[in-house]
Amino acid sequence: MSDQDVRFSDVLVVGGTAAGCAAAIAAAREGASVTVLEPTASIGGVTANGVHCFDTGSLQALSGIAEEFIRRVVSYYQNAGIDLSMIDSKSDIFWEFHVAEKIWREMIAEHSAITFINGAVPVGVKLENRRILGVNWERAIDAVGNLPSFPAEEPVCEYATTVIDATYEGDVASWSGARFDLGREGRSREEPHAGIIHTTTHERDIHPSGFLPSTILPGSTGEGDNALMAFTCRLSLRYRAENYRQHLLQRPADYDPDRYSWSPPPFVALGKPQFGTALIPTVAGKMLTNQRYRGDDLLDGNRAYILADPRARMPLRKRFFDHALGFLHFIQNEGGMPQLGLADDEYPGNGHVPHNIYVREGRRFRGYARMTESDVNPYITGQGPRPPLKQDSIAIGDWAIESRRCSDHCAPETGTYDGSMFIRALRSPYQVPMGCLVPEDVDNLLVTTTISASHVAFCALRVEALWTETGTAAGIAAALAARYGCRVIDTSVYEIQKLMLQMKCKLTYFSDVEAEHPSFEAIQSMALKGFVPCDGKYRFFPERNATWFDLLEGAVLAFDVPISVTGLHFEHIEPGDPAFRYAESLYDAASRAGIELFPNMRHPVIDAPADHLRPEARVRWISIDIDGLISRGEAAQFLARLRQAMGLIASPKLNEGASCFPITRAELCVLLIDSCSE
């Protein structure tokens, strides 16, 4: 290949998944040239191939590119006159798969800096020291990304400054030397649900053996192993009350009816199945099966598939497709429901079968940060209702710890399968730190869907809503690393966060602050500093009038004032009060600088204390109504004095619009960010 033929981009994205699309879009918006290699004929990963929604516990947890995608989905169906009222009670927005593919292609096409290549299967990497110079790829021989047994031609090499592995398998990251975990850790204090585990977390009624719902059962040894959760192939289905015989499937070659079971669900008017069954209604009369056991899930071959060379994956991939088609054949025949068949307007170029199998869990690459159950469970190291806050957050998720079975053995004592759990009681919005996306062993690589986490943490992380956000963060980080010529880990997390907020990405979850809020960026910026109310409904209360407590807490966090307590100086603020550490720390910071931060100081007559080691609570010099409302003028004057105490020059913004009217918590965030950012 001549120098003129060298193919080079600032950012190379491997995998046209939702994460890969988000990464490409984000990098292009930051001025980078981007190439995307997608092995299949599709785009969007499983969002266009079997997963009909983002899998989020609340729509408020969606933001950034995911929210842009959702707006386009809703607009498409509104323009098409299709009724979406059937999902009003759901926490997610559903779509058809050809619609998802259409929207992803449109979003990619809007950026001329992105080159998207379908049918490009990575087969190797070129390395130099700790850097990936380029990724070799060959042309797939079919729509699902299979390769011939032997190379048919010389591979093409895509060179790039920064590389993002946005696949579900993580081949490129693995070839580059990044270390990974594949399997389950053992139970520990940090991970009470790790290892071998049997639960009734799916049930809503008392188990036949007498166990209550949401219970860990006997047989849960907690031993670690190399097991992964089951994979599947999610077929798009349609119920046809008439003319269904032409849609009956031929008996698959390796069909075994003993693998399956099926009970036709109850139906309501118009032939739609009821919610809560193994058959999920989606949009425009489409349906998906979601049977956890003896259905389309398959364990056999999942680990082998992940570790296989791409050239050897054809028979492994076919096994998952055939198993899912076998389940549909069983439903149509032994299951007594011949009316259910493949949707004929999905995947017309691939026999109406998805291009991707649903890889629920692949490699998990060891990064500069690592998430465990304690990062998604609010009760282990946090005090609830959230897991511990993360200042380096680049994504949020709102999904419960959910794993499909990790063993085909059904425990005879309880009738449960090892590894299968859906712990709804632990669902809590969590944050993902930037370091989870950056493998320790490669300097110019990011991962989006194979991030650094334990198996249990990954059970909550493994949803497309989150991958779209991690993809966005990876795209921005990759563009910055290419621009500055630095290692990915040396890019500024603060700059990444700032750019993500400008793209309307939520980095801390609040149920009452949407990305369109006029103070969104300031509220999110203060939340990253720890300005987060302890509220069971995850509210920020942006329109509530701010109090002196809000100002004191916000000032300490905004200016990163060191916690320092030298005395008891404030009336009505006792050592056990939440405001105590903030008020005294601000007092100490100001007194060191000779600044009178609190103007209402008084000089009471002091009697000699009875015990010189125990200062009496009645001897206080400063009076503040900690629950009293504060005006913008008072807040601005206070912050101006604090800037002076911190050795900063005066800020003209603190003199703008000062008034005696109360200031809201949202407005206070803007004032705090303005006051500490100059």
**Model confidence pLDDT, tens digit, residues 155-206:** 999 999 999 999 999 999 999 999 999 999 999 999 999 999 999 987 777 8
**Is 411:193 a contact under the CB 8 Å cutoff?**
no
Are 84 and 74 within 8 A, CB to CB?
Answer: yes
Tokens of 103: 């929207």
Between helix 464-484 and helix 64-80 the angle, nearest 10°, is 130
* Element containing residue 289 per DSSP (H, E): strand 286-289
- Whether residue 402 is contained in a domain is answered as no
Determine contact, residues 11/33, Cβ cutoff 8 Å: yes
285: alpha, beta or left, given left = phi > 0 and alpha = psi -120 to 50?
left
Report, as an integer, the average pLDDT of 337-360.
Answer: 97
Q: Tell me: pLDDT of 604 over 90.
A: no
Residue 641 forms part of a structural domain: yes
How sure is the predictor about 90, in pLDDT bands with cuts at 50, 70 and 90? low
The whole-number average pLDDT for the span 140-167 is: 96
Identify whether 619 is part of a domain: yes
pLDDT at 280: 87
How many Cβ atoms are within 10 Å of 537's Cβ, its own excluded? 9
Is residue 531 assigned to a domain? yes
User: CA-CA distance, 345 to 432, in Å (whole number)?
Assistant: 37
Q: What is the spatial distance between Cα 525 and Cα 542, in angstroms, rounded to a whole number?
A: 14
Q: What's the pLDDT score for residue 87?
A: 55
The reported pLDDT for the residue numbered 616 is: 55
Least confident piece of the model among 19-28, 97-106, 266-275, 487-496 = 266-275
Q: What is the mean pLDDT of residues 263-275?
A: 67
Determine the structural domain holding residue 556 and report its residue range.
Answer: 523-676
Only one residue has tokens 């990759």, namely: 478
Beta strand ranges found along 548-619 (DSSP E): 570-571
Q: How far is CA 274 from CA 15, 119, 201, 234, 270, in A?
A: 36, 39, 21, 19, 11
- Say how far apart CA 483 and CA 405 lie, in whole Å: 44
Mean pLDDT, rounded, for 483-505: 98
Does residue 385 have a cis bond before it (omega within 30 degrees)? yes
pLDDT for position 395: 99
| Residue closest to 431 by CA, chosen among 476, 382, 477 | 382
E strand or H helix at 165, and its extent?
Answer: strand 156-165
Say if 484 falls within a structural domain: no
User: What is the count of structural domains for the chain?
Assistant: 1
Q: What is the pLDDT of residue 3?
A: 42
- Among residues 233, 387, 265, which one has the least CA distance to residue 336? 265
Q: With cut-offs at 50, 70 and 90, classify the pLDDT of residue 260.
A: very high
User: Average pLDDT of the chain?
Assistant: 93
Give 373's pLDDT tier (boundaries 50, 70, 90): very high
Torsion 501-503-507-508 (CA) sign: positive
Determine phi and psi for 400, rounding to 5 degrees.
-80, 165
> Residue 511 and residue 394: Cα distance in Å, rounded?
18
- E strand or H helix at 28, and its extent? helix 18-29
pLDDT, residue 610, reads 54
Of 156-170, 374-388, 460-474, 492-506, give the lowest mean pLDDT range. 374-388
pLDDT at site 549: 98
Residue 125 lies in a domain: no
Is pLDDT above 50 for 465? Answer: yes
Closest CA to 360 of 434, 313, 303: 303
Provide the pLDDT for residue 381. Answer: 92
Q: Quick one: pLDDT band at residue 423, thresholds 50, 70, 90?
A: very high
Question: Does 224 score more than 90 pLDDT?
Answer: yes
Q: What is the mean pLDDT of residues 663-676?
A: 97
Q: For the whole model, what pTM was predicted?
A: 0.95
Q: Is residue 46 part of a domain?
A: no
* Percent of the chain with pLDDT strictly greater than 70: 93
Closest to 280 (Cα-Cα) out of 320, 324, 247, 237: 237
Cα-atom radius of gyration of the chain, to the nearest Å?
Answer: 28
Determine the pLDDT at residue 275.
Answer: 56
* Contact call for residues 513 and 542 (beta carbons, < 8 A): yes
Considering the domain boundaries, does residue 447 fall inside one?
Answer: no
